[in-house]
Amino acid sequence: MLFALQCTDKSGALQLRLDTRPDHVAYLNDLNAKGILKMAGPFLGDDGKPTGSLVIVKTETIDDARAIAEADPYAKAGLFSNVEIKAFNWVFNNPEA
């Protein structure tokens, strides 16, 4: 099952995001190598700077998706003000469809 992790950065946390990014990218690369990560990228503000993240993962349960979200270096660093996890149905342009 697919889950969307919708993560909102805390206000004024851009430097924390930049400082933590290498560990975050390594974490996502590991998820990708395991076939868990389906897509990911930042939300952007009007100024073009990141304001959050969208991460789509394939897991058995929402609890597994929650564990992935909690283990993300961004989450561990306290970057996010909010994380929503929702079941996701990838209908259009799904390479696995």
The mean pLDDT of 43-47, rounded to a whole number, is 97
CATH topology of domain 2-88: Alpha-Beta Plaits (3.30.70)
pLDDT at site 96: 84
State the pLDDT confidence band at 97, using cuts at 50, 70 and 90.
confident
Give pLDDT tens digits for 49-85.
999 999 999 999 999 999 999 999 999 999 999 999 9
Dist CA 78 CA 75 (whole Å): 5
CB 7 within 8 A of CB 80: yes
Kindly give, in sequence order, each residue whose CB lies less than 8 Å from that of residue 65, ignoring residues fewer than 6 positions away. Answer: 3, 5, 57, 59, 85
pTM score of the predicted model: 0.94
